[in-house]
């Protein structure tokens, strides 16, 4: 079966396709994207019972072993990556082995990082099963795990060989996970495409109702935006930082709450509102953003009482460069900028108790 849509992430010798379509899992042959015969499928306790068996025909002919990790952000640790490496060593995987990440962002980040470190880098495929992973974390080669001092503090840039997005898997996704994914969908519109933001205002109910055509359109547009940004700036020397819009606040929220208390997308939603407020854009723009997030069922403010703690948490954020916190700011809906100075006073106001 052919994917209904293929996008390319253009990175010279590291270029790879994103295959998007309905029912691809099990129907799409992944053999052309494997480095060799050995294959370790990494999944988690939530996703494995639902989709692991369905994936099998896509890997026909490969020598497949499976590793099921505990589910959840709090398990995204160096220990989890080490467990994947142990599994690869245990199957005597060589340099031509391939890691296949079947799951959400946590599984993709852990499995991708393990692939980056095993024998100084083996191939990996991403098969994202959450909306958030499909529109964001599976594309672009950022891999990593959390450290008590900060989210994704340990990691590597390691591009996958291919990303397989089956929109059907969203059918079993928990409502809260779907909603959290919409935060990253909205983020792509906010930073790069005002028309797409308008489309989302019209179609947010269709997305919540899991209308396949609406989901496919949103996923495709997000992947296009992300692929274009990543191709222009693979290692986040500049432009790629746009994708972090709302994330400086979001990481701080997650850090203060403890990883996993809020879903990443929920923290991003609140973070995007804070970043819009910090940007000093027109109040009607902030109101439009709040309204869309609210209709999607997302939070538009950080947790009660957390604001004073966010400043300290942000100082440990990866994007903090030598003490100066660099925010991605909004010019208007559909256009974000990196590197514009922010108002200290405005930040203090936003983070006041």
Question: Rule CB under 8 A: which residues touch its own copies?
Answer: 36-38, 78, 82, 85-86, 89-90, 92, 94-96, 116-121, 142, 144, 147-150, 152-157, 235, 315-316, 318-323
| Nearer Cβ to its own copies (94/198) | 94
Least distance to its own copies from the beta carbon of 138, Å?
17
**58, burial (CB in 10 Å: exposed 0-12, middle 13-18, buried 19+):** buried
C-beta separation of 123 from 112 below 8 A:
no
Least distance to its own copies from the beta carbon of 317, Å?
9
Tokens at residue 337, please?
């900028």
C-beta separation of 67 from 40 below 8 A:
yes
| Nearer Cβ to its own copies (202/324) | 324
| Nearer Cβ to its own copies (90/171) | 90
Burial track 123-132 (b if 16+ CB lie within 10 A, e otherwise)? bbbbbbbbbb
Give the Cα separation of 284 and 295 in Å (integer): 16
Least distance to its own copies from the beta carbon of 174, Å?
29
Tokens at residue 191, please?
């930073």
Least distance to its own copies from the beta carbon of 95, Å?
6
| Nearer Cβ to its own copies (153/216) | 153
Give the Cα separation of 112 and 215 in Å (integer): 25
Residues belonging to the active site: 120, 142, 184, 226, 236, 240, 244, 247, 251, 264
Least distance to its own copies from the beta carbon of 295, Å?
35
Least distance to its own copies from the beta carbon of 121, Å?
7
Give the Cα separation of 276 and 245 in Å (integer): 9
Give the Cα separation of 245 and 347 in Å (integer): 15
CA geometry: angle at 215 spanning 124 and 250, to 5°? 70
Least distance to its own copies from the beta carbon of 148, Å?
8
Q: What is the DSSP pairing of strand 38-44 with strand 98-103?
A: parallel
| Nearer Cβ to its own copies (83/107) | 83
Q: What is the DSSP pairing of strand 150-157 with strand 16-21?
A: unpaired
Give the Cα separation of 41 and 124 in Å (integer): 10
Tokens at residue 213, please?
């055509």
| Nearer Cβ to its own copies (10/79) | 79
Q: How far is CA 207 from CA 114, 201, 269, in A?
A: 33, 11, 16
Give the Cα separation of 143 and 39 in Å (integer): 19
C-beta separation of 267 from 251 below 8 A:
yes
| Nearer Cβ to its own copies (293/314) | 314
């Amino acid at each position: 079966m052919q994917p209904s849509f293929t996008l390319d992430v253009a990175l010279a010798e590291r270029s790879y396709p994103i295959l998007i379509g309905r029912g691809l899992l099990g129907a799409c042959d992944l053999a052309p994207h494997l480095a060799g015969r050995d294959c370790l499928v990494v999944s988690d306790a939530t996703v494995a019972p639902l989709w692991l068996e369905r994936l099998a025909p896509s890997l026909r002919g490969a020598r497949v072993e499976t590793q099921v990790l505990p589910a959840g952000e709090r398990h995204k640790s160096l220990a989890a990556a080490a467990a994947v490496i142990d599994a690869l060593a245990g199957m005597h995987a060589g340099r031509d082995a391939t890691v296949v990440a079947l799951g959400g962002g946590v599984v993709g980040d852990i499995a991708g990082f393990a692939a980056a470190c095993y024998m100084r880098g083996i191939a990996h495929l991403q098969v994202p099963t959450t909306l958030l992973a499909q529109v964001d974390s599976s594309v672009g080669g950022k891999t990593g795990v959390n450290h008590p001092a900060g989210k994704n503090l340990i990691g590597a840039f390691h591009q996958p060989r291919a990303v397989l997005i089956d929109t059907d898997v969203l059918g079993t996704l928990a409502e809260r996970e779907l909603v959290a994914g919409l935060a990253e969908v909205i983020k792509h519109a906010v930073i790069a495409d005002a028309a797409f933001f308008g489309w989302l205002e019209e179609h947010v109910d269709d997305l919540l109702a899991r209308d396949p055509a609406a989901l496919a359109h949103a996923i495709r547009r997000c992947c296009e935006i992300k692929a274009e940004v990543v191709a222009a700036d693979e290692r986040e020397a500049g432009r790629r930082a746009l994708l972090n819009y709302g994330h400086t606040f979001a990481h701080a929220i997650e850090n203060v709450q403890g990883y996993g208390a809020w879903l990443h997308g929920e923290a991003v939603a609140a973070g995007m509102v804070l970043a819009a407020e910090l940007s000093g854009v027109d109040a009607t723009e902030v109101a439009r953003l709040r309204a869309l997030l609210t209709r999607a069922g997302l939070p538009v403010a950080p947790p009660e009482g957390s604001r004073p703690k966010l400043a300290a948490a942000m100082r440990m954020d990866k994007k903090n460069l030598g003490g100066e916190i660099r925010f991605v700011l909004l010019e208007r809906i559909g256009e974000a900028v990196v590197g514009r100075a922010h108002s200290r006073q405005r930040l203090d106001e936003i983070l006041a108790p």
